[in-house]
């Protein structure tokens, strides 16, 4: 396990790096397949594959925990102990006393997943090799279950903080339409590059109509900006993953170079204006997805928006705004260098 010169900043970067990769692996299959397979619900194999992708998505906290541990150069047993603790601490599976069974759904709380994995890693660093020959028994019980227990104890606090954030965003709906659309769009544009789940926020506060459309547009704006800036900077696989919905892949970049939010927020502001003008609507389910699986555009289509306006609102305006933002902020004002701030940091 590499512990030399471990600083809080380096520790955080490793946690973020593991989380970013884990989110991509866990969420991409369902994000891609769900948009396609929903048109084949009469085919049993398609339904089964859709269910497989959903169950695979539930393993996201497990994947995050393992990948975080790998960032610290841990051994196989330490990796699995961290993964198990993160899985439990995420709350993705919980006991339901009403039916007397364990219920799993979603991906759990990603922030709590990170915290629980970090606790497990810290405990493993402190213990080192002190367990000796009884490590195979002591490590899963004391470190795995101990960190998982701590994670579950703080889960309600983290969940309430996420809920409070959602309430603040929901309060924007009481403002003038264009201002409301801009504030919600910017909020979700920022959240999608953090451990906070935009899908969970959208469902928790039940965004409807134009509010949901603005939220989804914010996510779409981030996707487009990250693709534009990543196109010639990163390997094609990274750019493709971002385009397919793995915006959280850039979390380490956000924490290391907060300047990346400038072109994102500028694009989100401009992209929100057509939402208010054309009444681009959505649902609580579509609010956190944006362009992923074309969930946002399809939701606005179902709400009655015409195809030309869908193309203008979801693609033409955000792409033009993103390109202009890049030219003005990077080339003219020289506020950042894409090759530095948008270079994928997850593998570092």
pLDDT of residue 55: 92
Q: How sure is the predictor about 347, in pLDDT bands with cuts at 50, 70 and 90?
A: low
Q: What pTM did the predictor assign?
A: 0.74
Lowest mean pLDDT among 25-29, 127-131, 288-292: 25-29
Domain segments of the chain as ranges: 8-162, 175-341
Residue 50 CB neighbours (<10 A): 18
Mean local confidence (pLDDT), 191-215: 82
User: Structure tokens of 324?
Assistant: 């202009």
State the helix-helix crossing angle for 146-171 and 177-191, rounded to 10 degrees: 160
Angle at 133 between CA 130 and CA 136, to 5 degrees: 90
Lowest mean pLDDT among 236-240, 285-289, 329-333: 285-289
Lowest mean pLDDT among 198-202, 305-309, 320-324, 326-330: 198-202
Q: Is the pLDDT of residue 269 over 90?
A: yes
| H/E element, 7 | none
**Residue 195, SS3 per DSSP:** coil
* Closest C-alpha to 69, from 138, 117, 23: 117
Q: Across the strands, what pairs with 93?
A: 104
> Given the structure tokens 């502001």, which residue do they identify?
269
Q: Is the pLDDT of residue 4 over 70?
A: no
Please, are residues 297 and 314 in contact by the beta-carbon 8 Å criterion? yes
Q: Is the pLDDT of residue 205 over 80?
A: no
Q: Is the pLDDT of residue 87 over 50?
A: yes
Alpha-carbon span 92 to 152, nearest angstrom:
11
DSSP type of residue 142: I
Q: How sure is the predictor about 1, in pLDDT bands with cuts at 50, 70 and 90?
A: very low
> Given the structure tokens 């179902």, which residue do they identify?
302
């Amino acid at each position: 396990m590499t512990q030399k010169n471990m600083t809080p900043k380096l520790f955080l970067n490793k946690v973020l790096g593991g989380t970013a990769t884990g989110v991509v692996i866990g969420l991409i299959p369902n994000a891609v397949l769900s948009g396609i397979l929903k048109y084949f619900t009469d085919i049993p194999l398609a339904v089964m594959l859709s269910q497989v992708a959903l169950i695979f998505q539930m393993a996201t906290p497990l994947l995050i925990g393992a990948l975080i541990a790998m960032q610290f150069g841990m051994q196989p047993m330490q990796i699995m102990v961290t993964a198990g603790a993160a899985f439990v601490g995420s709350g993705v599976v919980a006991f339901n006393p009403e039916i007397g069974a364990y219920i799993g759904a979603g991906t759990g709380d990603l922030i709590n997943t990170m915290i629980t994995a970090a606790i497990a890693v810290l405990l493993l660093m402190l213990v080192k090799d002190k367990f000796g020959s009884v490590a195979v028994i002591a490590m899963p019980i004391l470190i795995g279950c101990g960190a998982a227990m701590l994670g579950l104890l703080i889960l309600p606090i983290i969940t309430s903080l996420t809920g409070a954030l959602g309430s603040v965003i929901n309060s924007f709906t009481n403002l003038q339409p264009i201002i409301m659309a801009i504030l919600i769009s910017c909020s979700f544009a920022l959240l999608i590059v953090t451990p906070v789940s935009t899908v969970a926020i959208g469902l928790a506060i039940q965004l409807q109509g134009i509010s949901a459309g603005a939220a989804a547009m914010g996510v779409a704006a981030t996707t487009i900006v990250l693709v534009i800036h990543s196109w010639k900077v990163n390997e094609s696989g990274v750019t493709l993953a971002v385009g397919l919905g793995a915006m959280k892949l850039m979390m380490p970049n956000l924490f290391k170079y907060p300047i990346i939010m400038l072109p994102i927020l500028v694009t989100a502001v401009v992209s929100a204006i057509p939402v208010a003008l054309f009444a681009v609507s959505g649902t609580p389910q579509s609010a956190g997805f944006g362009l992923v699986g074309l969930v946002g555009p399809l939701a606005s289509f179902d709400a009655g928006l015409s195809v030309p306006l869908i193309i203008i609102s979801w693609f033409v305006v955000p792409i033009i705004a993103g390109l202009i933002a890049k030219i003005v902020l990077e080339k003219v004002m020289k506020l950042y260098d894409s090759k530095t701030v948008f270079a994928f940091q997850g593998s570092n």
